[in-house]
Amino acid sequence: MILLDEVLARAKTLSGVRSVTLTNALPQNVQAPTDTFRIAGELGDVALPVPRAVSLRVDPGYLETMGVPLQQGRFFEETDRAGQPLVAVINQTMVDKRFERMSPLGQLILIGGESREIVGVVADVSQTIVQVSGGSCETVYVPIAQMPLVSTYLMLATTGDAGQLHRADQDSAQ
């Protein structure tokens, strides 16, 4: 994570950058990464396949950079790192499908072979170009610092023309 922390810190210093984030998948892609999951205490029909959710690994800057509203609880903090309690955030579609009669906050979800506490709920984000029947996919967000990746995207939100970032950075280096 040290290299990724340095990349984020450097990107934040670019003139015109409002916020930055890291993720394992870009929204509006052809496909999205998925993983099987189970909600603690939820009884699944053994005749049916284990449910799958879009599985995104992101850093604490994701909501601000992507403009995704937090609906309940909290999003990830800098303290949600390796060695700390494992946490997850889910989307509203998962709440609607899995938590009709109770709050998801504080519940446990098993994803990626690890049990994580659900600490927040965010609005749905369209992760793929082609939508599944029935609307949005269930989505689970995991802190990238608790589950590092080999392949990571850096996304920037800018205050102006993103094309000017490169030129501004080159100008300051000369």
Please say if the pLDDT value at position 91 is more than 90: yes
pLDDT at 134: 54
pLDDT at 28: 61
d(Cα 90, Cα 12) in Å, to the nearest integer?
27
d(Cα 79, Cα 85) in Å, to the nearest integer?
10
Q: Dihedral sign for Cα 34, 57, 65, 12, please.
A: negative
Global confidence as pTM: 0.80
What pLDDT, in 10s, does the model give residues 22-66? 887 777 655 677 888 999 877 666 677 888 899 999 999 999 988
pLDDT grade for 125, boundaries at 50, 70 and 90: confident
If one compares 73 and 167, the residue with the highest pLDDT of the two is 73
Extents of the domains making up the chain: 2-8+27-156
pLDDT at 1: 59
